[in-house]
């Protein structure tokens, strides 16, 4: 929250017209689309509602695809699905057939004025055994092509590849256990907040001394392997410089947008509904 430093009261947001400097109330606002530089076409509330996709509250399955043929780069938000009353058998049938065939359903789903493409897949952990997760997907034009990332040609020697494979084997786990990973920064901030609530001052932490940068990738792999052998831990990581042959310098988010979902049922009469976001948070309709 943003507060007034003098009295500690919360601040409120106001919209100010850039041309005349007047504060604009919500009943004086209108939505517009910029079709050219500083040129807008405006829409009334009725026009916007007329353009919205009508919510069907159903999931229309278009096809079934092998699960491993769907690139995770298109994954957006996961939702747990559960059956409505009377749809338990159809729900179980759909979940089981997707599990047995190792396929996922690609479907369309309309909610909150928008149409989404979603993936349905079987998942463990449901009370009745196998459940269904609905994963909203990004459309093709919402994902940046990998070709935007500049990657120069480089020759990989057999000795380098062998050493890299050795590192992979050294820190390989058979399954991914999310509980092994904690958000240490969030935990530290929560501790600092609690200390502040109790009346303590928050001291500035001493800057951590950065480890020596390893320019050569081979040296980084060797150092990582040596640390893993000595400590017997999978937490060691190869350290590469942002400069030279050992560094990766380009980072670009793959997605351009993030759609959201709403309550849904499958079109095969299984009466399946989206009950909750898989991450436990309330879903948002904003992109």
Mean pLDDT over all residues of the chain? Answer: 78
pTM (2 d.p.): 0.62
Query: What does each C-alpha distance from 190 to 151, 182, 184, 201 come to in angstroms?
Result: 40, 13, 10, 14
More confident residue, 267 or 8: 8
CATH-assigned architecture of domain 59-145+257-277: Beta Barrel (2.40)
The pLDDT confidence band at residue 26, using thresholds 50, 70 and 90, is: confident
Residue 270: how many other CB atoms lie within 10 Å: 23
What does DSSP say about strands 272-277 and 75-83: parallel, antiparallel, or unpaired? antiparallel
pLDDT digits (tens, 9 = 90+) for 164-183: 898 889 889 999 998 999 99
More confident residue, 193 or 49: 193
pLDDT computed for residue 74 by the predictor: 96
The pLDDT confidence band at residue 126, using thresholds 50, 70 and 90, is: confident
pLDDT digits (tens, 9 = 90+) for 201-246: 887 767 666 655 544 666 777 777 666 555 544 444 444 333 344 4
Alpha helix ranges (H) inside 103-183: 158-170
Collapsed DSSP state (helix, strand, coil) of residue 106: strand
The pLDDT confidence band at residue 51, using thresholds 50, 70 and 90, is: confident
The pLDDT confidence band at residue 247, using thresholds 50, 70 and 90, is: very low
pLDDT digits (tens, 9 = 90+) for 91-117: 999 999 999 999 999 999 888 778 899
Q: What is d(CA 121, CA 135) in angstroms, rounded to the nearest whole number?
A: 8
Residue matched to tokens 């009950």: 275
Contacts of residue 108, defined as CB under 8 A and 6 or more positions apart, other chains included, come to 59, 60, 62, 115, 116, 117, 118
pLDDT computed for residue 240 by the predictor: 39
Instruction: Encode 50-87: b = buried (16+ Cβ within 10 Å), e = exposed.
Output: eeeeebeebbebeeeeeeeebeeebebbbbbbbbeeeb
Q: What is d(CA 99, CA 129) in angstroms, rounded to the nearest whole number?
A: 11
More confident residue, 255 or 121: 121
Closest-CA residue to 71 (of 116, 119, 109): 119
Domain boundaries, the chain: 15-51, 59-145+257-277, 154-173+212-249
More confident residue, 149 or 125: 149
């Amino acid at each position: 929250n943003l507060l007034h430093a003098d009295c500690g009261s919360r601040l409120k947001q106001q919209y100010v017209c850039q041309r005349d400097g007047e504060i604009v109330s919500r009943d004086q606002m209108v939505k517009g689309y910029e079709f050219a530089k500083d040129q807008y076409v405006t829409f009334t509330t009725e026009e916007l509602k007329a353009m919205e996709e009508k919510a069907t509250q159903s999931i229309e399955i278009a096809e079934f695809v092998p699960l491993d043929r769907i690139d995770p780069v298109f994954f957006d938000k996961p939702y747990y699905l559960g059956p409505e009353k009377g749809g338990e058998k159809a729900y179980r049938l759909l979940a089981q057939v997707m599990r047995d065939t190792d396929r996922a359903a690609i479907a369309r789903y309309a909610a909150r004025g928008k149409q989404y493409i979603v993936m349905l897949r079987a998942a463990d952990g449901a009370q009745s055994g196998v459940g269904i997760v609905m994963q909203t997907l990004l459309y093709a034009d919402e994902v940046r092509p990998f070709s935007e990332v500049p990657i120069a040609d480089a020759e990989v020697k057999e000795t380098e590849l062998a050493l890299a494979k050795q590192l992979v084997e050294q820190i390989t786990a058979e399954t991914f256990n999310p509980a092994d990973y904690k958000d240490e920064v969030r935990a530290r901030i929560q501790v600092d907040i609690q200390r502040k609530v109790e009346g303590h001052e928050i001291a500035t932490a001493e800057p951590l001394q950065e480890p020596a940068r390893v320019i050569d990738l081979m040296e980084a792999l060797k150092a990582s392997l040596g640390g893993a052998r000595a400590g017997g831990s999978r937490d060691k990581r190869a350290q590469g410089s942002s400069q030279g042959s050992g560094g990766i310098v380009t980072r670009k988010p793959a997605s351009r947008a993030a759609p959201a979902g709403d309550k849904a049922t499958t079109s095969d009469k299984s009466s399946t509904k989206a009950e909750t976001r898989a991450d436990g948070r309330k879903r948002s309709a904003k992109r």
